Amino acid sequence: MTAYEASELFMVYLNTYFQFMFGYVGILSGFLVMSYVAAERLSKLLSILVVTLFSLVSLMMIIQINFLRNDFRGLNRYLYELKDVDPESLIWFGTNPLWMVLVLTLVTNAVLFGGFVGCIGYFLYQRQESIRDKDA
């Protein structure tokens, strides 16, 4: 693979990663809106079904995002090898410290799981509020 092809693949992975991330944010946003609008109107059985479906889709997206990040890290290693062979071919690559990859992975996973837990918590909060309002 030439430096150009590796650079192009790098950008394709980066774009795909952001598409997955924004897709996940769309799922979270849709669930939050549904929680605000409809959580109090759903039966217990339907609430369980909706939360289960949301959980499965969210966890699937989290796993896919992490698989993509692992592939991306492999491509990163390959680009470093290319740069070692010919430093002039990838001048733009590798200017960030290597520890940033670990930090970015940790922050990304915190955001992914935090969004998931936050959405479930908000859904349960909305259901509890409607129950308290009916009892009052």
pTM for this model (two decimals)? 0.81
Range of the domain at 49: 3-135
Q: In 87-119, which positions are buried (b, 16+ CB within 10 angstroms) versus exposed (e)?
A: eeebeebeeeeeeeeeeeeeebeeebeebbeeb
For 98-125, the pLDDT digits (tens) are: 788 789 889 999 999 999 999 999 999 9
Say how many domains are in the chain: 1
For 36-81, the pLDDT digits (tens) are: 999 888 999 999 999 999 999 999 999 999 999 888 888 888 888 8
